[in-house]
Amino acid sequence: MSKNIPAPIAKIIPKTLEKHSQKRVDNYYWLNDREDPAVIDYLNKENKYYEEMTSHTKTFQNELYEEMKARIKEDDESVPYLYNGYYYITRFETGKGYPIYSRKKENLSADEEILFNCNELSEGHSYFKLGGLSVSPDNKYVSFGLDTMGRRIYTVQIKNLETGEILSDKIENATGSSVWANDNKTLFYTRQDEVTLRSDKVFKHKVGTGSATDELVFHEKDDTFDVSVGKEKSKKYIVIGSGSTLTTEFRILNADQPDGKFVIFQPRVRGLEYSISHFGDSFYILTNKDKATNFKLMKTPEKATKKENWKDVIPHRADVLLEDIEIFSDYLVVDERADGLNRIRIMPWSGNGEYYLPFGSETYSAGPTTNVDFDTDILRYSYQSLATPASVIDFNMKTKEKEVKKEQQVLGGDFDKDNYVEERVWAIATDGNKIPISIVYRKGLKKDGSNPLLLYAYGSYGVTMDAYFSSTRLSLLDRGFIYAIAHIRGGEDLGRTWYEDGKLLKKKNTFTDFIDCSKFLIAEKYTSAKHLYAEGGSAGGLLMGAIINMAPELYNGVIAQVPFVDVVTTMLDDTIPLTTGEYDEWGNPNIKKFYDYMLSYSPYDNVKAQEYPNMYVSTGLHDSQVQYWEPAKWVAKLRTQKTNNTVLYLNTNMDAGHGGASGRFEALKELAEEFSFILDLEKIIK
């Protein structure tokens, strides 16, 4: 690996930032103007440096790309599901990077009706995303959202499925999601604040009219809340959801009366979280009411929805997290989590013979998927593990028979899940908590400390990182890598308390948990510091930034994708998307105790003169979630502070946003870049 190519050095323009009578000097604040030619020039120089420094891996990257692509069934399609008289299918064609959405009337032998061919629609766009498909009750219209920038700003349009015509109705600056009232001509949709991109308004649109005349039906003025709009499975109610990290509130409207007024289901109470499901003459409520930390299930009459009318159906349990429910005419299906693992509980409304679906693996992921019909005994759920490809299974809740409708195919002819070992081990945190780690590796591997290991985690927003299968990961496992997921605090892996203990003024538990997992894997000789690699993206990129400041000696390399690393400055800027809605996650730095705590761990603010691991940092110029300038500033500062000669790359996708490249296979090229980075460090390029 050549070290003779000079790295770009960003110019220093000191800017003094003052808060709470404290001054910080930001030498790279100027990088936050994407319209400045000097900023684009710097990003291009970093890209050129990355390309030149890794030129010896380009052939290998292409081989990796082709290898990963070859495992994927190109002419693939989803398991059809029946909704309102039509079977809906998403399929891919060989050599094409985007999906085709289609449907068949009444049976699967009927002629295919193509709703959208995204391969045709994406032509001429460097980025393309279609989402938010919503079909009218009479099956005549479909509303959809288009994003061609990658900033998650959609234009909503309507297609006449009988004529194929795209109507002139065009709704700009939308979130992309929309829902039909039962009159087949009224569409409810959400719009974003133009500056912060916070979803804050719900509008009502009549087919065939201009969006300028659309009626505002709800405006969420609290800038810590986001809004959404949807429809109950019963099809009786349109529902507006308004939620922050800690509080939710819903409004309901009879879908037969779209010009009526939305009624508040239960007024917001700070700290009260609830979600609603309509069935019969009642609503079922998943809630943390009455200090139900892990949530409980309650029920209330549809004409008496305030919380004083709610009655327990499934009481709170300290050791079981209640995650979701699915309602059928004869069954209640409960999605639970106990000891960090999914459980699916089948409860007949008759009260007789409830049971759990059996899962035998040490570490796996399972849960209900597309279940749009009340009147059926069939539960559709998914199952996968680190070594078992994802399956879609139809389970007869009455006979207990199951039918595997589809198992993900891994092409190439040499994949056998029995060639891999899965483990679930527990590291002991500094404060004594036990942290689960899911691990997979190829059989025959010796635990002698010489194995390269990639440790992944996220650890924020209560997001649970279940053990999932990845055919692309085989490119690491088959080259001797161990892959592990650290289920650290900040996620909800071990229940709601696990999340609460990794946020706000306890956020550092997330970082020390990851470090403790790393030390455990080294102590147990799965790997060593010379061969340990860490990976995280977005808020997981914050994790990467924190651990390399706190314990850089543990890692040979780090992959940080779209990392949130300039915590204090970002959280003080309420014009940036997501900022105000994040106060309940990170704290409000306008309050001194939160400012001081954030400042103590913010990766950008804590870069110092020390040795740092090899690093690959990626971002997107149009990222709406984590602005590109955070990783750009971070890398610029690291270049001037790190005291060793490890490599440091900043790779900016000049066309994409937070999710990276669009298209089915373009993302594989980005993955090939990441994999080649660590494989090159291990000298396993072959």
Backbone angles phi, psi at 129, to 5 degrees: -145, 125
Of the listed 466, 501, 516, 623, which one is catalytic?
623
Query: What is the per-residue pLDDT across 88-126, written as a single tens digit (0 to 9) for each?
Result: 999 999 988 899 999 999 999 999 999 999 999 999 888
Q: What percent of the chain has pLDDT over 70?
A: 97
Confirm if 157 and 143 have CB atoms less than 8 A apart. Answer: yes
Which pLDDT value is given to residue 449? 97
Residue 538 is a catalytic residue: yes
Q: Which of 506, 500, 499, 424 is nearest to 458 (CA)?
A: 499
For the ranges 499-503, 528-532, 583-587, 624-628, the lowest mean pLDDT is seen at 624-628
> Which tokens belong to 623?
């990222």
pLDDT at 2 over 90: no
Residue 334 to residues 239, 290, 402, Cα–Cα distance (Å)? 22, 20, 18
Of the listed 214, 658, 662, 676, which one is catalytic?
658
Distance CA(616)–CA(35), nearest Å, equals: 25
Going by C-beta distance under 8 Å and a sequence separation of 6 or more, which residues neighbour residue 546? 508, 510, 511, 601, 603, 606
Asked whether the CA dihedral 115, 119, 120, 121 is positive or negative, the reply is positive
With bands split at pLDDT 50, 70 and 90, how would you rate the model's confidence at 163? Answer: very high
3-state secondary structure of 597: helix
Which pLDDT value is given to residue 627? 87
Backbone angles phi, psi at 164, to 5 degrees: 85, 0
pTM above 0.75, yes or no: yes
Distance CA(65)–CA(58), nearest Å, equals: 10
With bands split at pLDDT 50, 70 and 90, how would you rate the model's confidence at 148? Answer: confident
What's the average model confidence in pLDDT over 234-240? Answer: 97
Q: Which long-range contacts (CB under 8 A, 24 or more apart) does 66-74 make?
A: 67/475, 68/471, 68/472, 68/475, 68/668, 68/671, 68/672, 69/665, 69/668, 70/411, 70/412, 71/410, 71/411, 71/412, 71/415, 71/471, 71/472, 71/474, 72/411, 72/471, 72/664, 72/665, 73/409, 73/411
Distance CA(378)–CA(133), nearest Å, equals: 24
Strand residue runs (E) in 429-541: 434-442, 453-456, 482-486, 532-537
Distance CA(51)–CA(412), nearest Å, equals: 30
Beta bridge partners of 301: 282
Residue 466 is a catalytic residue: no
Distance CA(557)–CA(534), nearest Å, equals: 7
Of the listed 102, 277, 365, 538, which one is catalytic?
538
What's the average model confidence in pLDDT over 2-20? Answer: 90
Query: What is the per-residue pLDDT across 656-686, written as a single tens digit (0 to 9) for each?
Result: 554 445 567 888 999 999 999 999 999 998 6
For tokens 């299974």, what's the residue?
393
Going by C-beta distance under 8 Å and a sequence separation of 6 or more, which residues neighbour residue 335? 322, 323, 324, 325, 326, 342, 343, 344, 345, 367, 368
Beta bridge partners of 425: 437
Measured in residues, the chain has a length of 686
Distance CA(214)–CA(211), nearest Å, equals: 5
Which pLDDT value is given to residue 577? 60
Query: What is the per-residue pLDDT across 343-369, written as a single tens digit (0 to 9) for each?
Result: 999 999 998 999 999 887 778 999 999
Residue 226 is a catalytic residue: no
> Which tokens belong to 282?
């009642």
